[in-house]
Structure 1
Amino acid sequence: MTERCAGLIELKAFNRPVEGGINGEWSLVLPDGSRKKIHLPNPHEQVVQRKFALSDEVRKPVAVFHERMTHIAKFRLAALRLAV
């Protein structure tokens, strides 16, 4: 995040290759080539929702936006410290 740009990186932690489309179910590709349905929200839809959430935040007045981003950064930093 800078004054001119906001970026969104969405990482997923699957232990196998994943197949799916914009809509519908997603599946893990198992070593034997078979598919196992993922019983989670559609990963593509998750990214789209987060993109719109970030866009909504950026459109807020600057003071509100900076206050919220500072709070989120402090929370994430505290979570990282607990994980170490």
Structure 2
Amino acid sequence: MLASTLLKWQNANRPKRLPVVTCWGSGDRSDRNRTYNFPQGRVTDHRINLTLYRLDEVMEGKLDMLIEPIIQEHQADQLAALSEQE
């Protein structure tokens, strides 16, 4: 009885959970966005190949030094895509 109830619950909740799981990625090392190296005080953003030796500031919440280059890279990609269309 308990097993059948559990199976019904799992089947009822499976469609709700599937989109959340697919957002996580595979968990592979290649899925990483940033690496935080505490012994060296280094943070690396792998999306834009940015390495900063200011990990203490990042951990304090000063993220502008990471966010601004990502925005600039995104804008450069958008401009490149626009110029390819013309």
Smaller-chain TM-score range? 0.3 to 0.5
Structure showing the higher helix proportion among its residues: 2
**Structure of greater relative contact order (alpha carbons < 8 Å, 6+ residues apart):** 1
Question: Given the two structures, how large is their TM-score scaled by the length of structure 2?
Answer: 0.32
Normalised to the residue count of structure 1, the TM-score between the two structures is 0.33
Q: Looking at CA atoms only, which structure, 1 or 2, has the larger radius of gyration? A: 2
